[in-house]
Every structure is written in C-alpha cells, then in structure tokens.
Amino acid sequence: MPAHAADAATEPPLDLRGSEIQLFFENDSFGSSDQYYTNGFKIGGGIPAGKVSKFFTLPPDTLLNAITDGASNHFGLFIGQNLYTPRDITIAAPQPNDRPWAAWAYIGAVAQSVKEDRLHTVEVDLGFVGPPALGKQVQTLVHDIVDAPEPKGWSNQIRAEPGLLLTYLHKRRYGPSTGVQLVPHIGGSIGNIMTLARVGGIVRVGQNMTGFGPDSIEPGGAMLKNTRSQYDAGRRQSWEWFGFAGVDGRLIAHNIFLDGSLFRSGPSVESDSKVYDITAGLSARIDKVRLSVTRIKRSEEFTGGGEQRFYSINLGIEF
C-alpha cells in the first residue's frame, strides 16, 4: 500500500463534538414591506477552543477575562451581512431625505462564559460597509429569484469603509426552568459601525427552559452550545419550549447606516438617538435541534422614518 494511502487510512476522523451550527435570518418582507433594515443573515456557531486559531479567540477572550475574573470561556465564529434601503427601492436617483442605501458584511469572533446566574458575552466584528459588502449583488439576485422589484439605487450607497464593532452583553436569569422566568440584560457596542448603550429584558413562560432566552442575530445575542451545556447540565431535558415577550432600549451615539461615516462625507439622515424594540415569539428544542421565531417592532430610527416591523428566525443544530 502506498505511504500516502496508509497515512490517510490512519488519520483520525474530524471530531465535531462540542460544536454547533447557528443560522439567523431577519427580513421585513414577512411584515409586508421592503425598506429600512430589510434583510440580515448570520451563520456560524460554537467551536471548542482547541480548534480555533488564537487569532480569533485572543481578542474577545482577553476582554472577557477582564470582565469575568477568569471564568471558563467558550468560543464561536460567525459571518453575516445586513442590508438597509430607503422606502422605494425602484428609484435610481439619490433620496437625501430617506434612509441611505447601505450594506455591512463581517466576520465575528465570540467569547462567552456563565458564572452562577450570569451570562457574559464579548463579540468582536470586523468587516466592510459599502460595495465590498456586496449588498447590490445579493439583493438583486434574491429579488430576481423571488420575482420582486429590482433594487435600482445601490449606486447611492454609503461608500466603502472597513468596520470594527466591539460588543459586550450581560444577561441574568431569575426563575425556575418550568414556569415563568425574567431575563434582564445590559450592554453596549463601540466602533465606527455603531456606538451605543442598551438595557432591556424578556419574560418567558415554558417547560424545561435552558439558556437565557432566544438567540438573536444582534452582536453578542447568540448563546453558544457549550456555554448552555455547562450552565444547564443538571436540568437539561430532551425537549423544551417557551413563549416570550420583551423590550430593548438603546441610546445611540453613532450609527453608520444613518449618520454616515465618521471619516468621509456621504449619504446620511437625521437619526434618533433613542430607539427601542418590542419583541414577542416562540422557541422550541427537540434533542439537538432548536428553532426560535421572533416578531420585532422597532421605533422610528430617523426623522420621518416611522416604525418598522420584521421577523427574526434562528435555527440551531448541536453536535
């Protein structure tokens, strides 16, 4: 037998235990609109620390250790893209009084730990806004497939710029695993993409509940499988479900998708520094598969913009 064949035969199989896949999808078309924050997706999940390069784990791990005084950390990697458009996407000319066209594509590294009833998450996102984020290509392709109106104004989008976003989110959990739970949160983000402080929480009702509420596409919003398993090892059942409702309020100092670049001139509108989301939804897990659906009502983000409603879907598969 050739040497390379023997080596291949003895090579151990890839061990995925302790890993997961999480898929997030948000879109306003479920709410019968196609405007403002019009689409977002994020895919990735938890990965055992030994299988992740220090290039990804070191930045969020260092920051998380400073916050949690050395609690056991778990890690995840995600990639994602967000798209933003004005009300009428069929207008090719600039619309200076409406929301700017914008796209954000990124890779995120996450570190997370649980200590007693407290969840700490740090996420570092690196990416690009503008044409390198491929907003025009993605939206045009999808609209062609589903026979939706062609988006014609991407030539007016926010100009190309690298982006950095650092996010910290802290959650606490009060209540039994079956019955009623209160899960408040507090956190913030800083970077040229967005700088904000936030506070809020959810109330959830269900059976065999694990974790700290539904996972979400927002930076720091996903709970990693290893974190969940460590915290809920003694109470996890083969299935769970819960319904939930909540609110998240944000005080925003900078939002590149409304205020434009910190460093370059370009499209912008008069943004609102106080924004809130009202959420409600359902989440269920059978064995290693989890599905959550959330309806989000977002307050006006800029002068003349009005409220927005969209849905967020999360599918998680554990290994």
pLDDT in the model for residue 152: 93
Q: pLDDT: is 232 or 219 the higher one?
A: 219
- 18 — phi, psi (to 5°)? 90, 0
Q: What is the pLDDT, as a whole number, of residue 209?
A: 93
- Are the C-beta atoms of residues 77 and 52 closer than 8 Å to each other? yes
229-249 average pLDDT score: 87
Amino acid 239: pLDDT: 93
Quick one: pLDDT band at residue 10, thresholds 50, 70, 90? low
What percent of the chain is predicted at pLDDT more than 70?
A: 86
Q: Are 276 and 247 in contact (CB under 8 A)?
A: yes
Banded model confidence at residue 223, pLDDT cuts 50, 70, 90: confident
Half-sphere exposure in the Cβ direction for 312 (13 Å, CA) = 27
Total length of the chain: 319
Angle, CA of 30, 28 and 216, to the nearest 5°: 100
The 10s digit of each residue's pLDDT in 29-73 is 765 566 799 899 999 987 766 666 666 667 777 777 776 665 567
Query: Torsions phi, psi of 271, nearest 5?
Result: -85, 160
What's the mean pLDDT when you consider all of the chain?
87
Q: Whole-angstrom Cα distance, residue 211 to residue 147?
A: 39
What 3-state DSSP class applies to 228? Answer: helix
Which of 27-36, 188-197, 277-286 has the weakest average pLDDT? 27-36
Contacts by 291-297, CB closer than 8 A, 24 or more apart: 291/315, 291/316, 292/214, 292/215, 294/214, 294/216, 296/26
Phi, psi dihedral angles at 286 (to 5 degrees)? -125, 115
Q: Are 163 and 128 in contact (CB under 8 A)?
A: yes
Please write the tens of the pLDDT for every residue from 199-209: 999 999 999 99
Q: How far apart are CA 61 and CA 59, in angstroms?
A: 6
- Range scoring the smallest mean pLDDT among 80-89, 154-163, 225-234, 275-284: 225-234
Whether the CB-CB separation of 105 and 134 falls below 8 Å is answered with yes
Work out the average pLDDT over 294-304.
94
Q: What is the pLDDT of residues 115-135, one digit of tens each?
A: 878 899 999 999 999 999 999
Catalogue all structural domains in the chain, each as residue range(s) with its CATH number. Answer: 15-318 (2.40.128.140)
Confidence of residue 245 (pLDDT cuts 50, 70, 90): very high
> What are the distances in angstroms from CA 115 to CA 68, 112, 118, 166, 231?
8, 10, 5, 22, 8
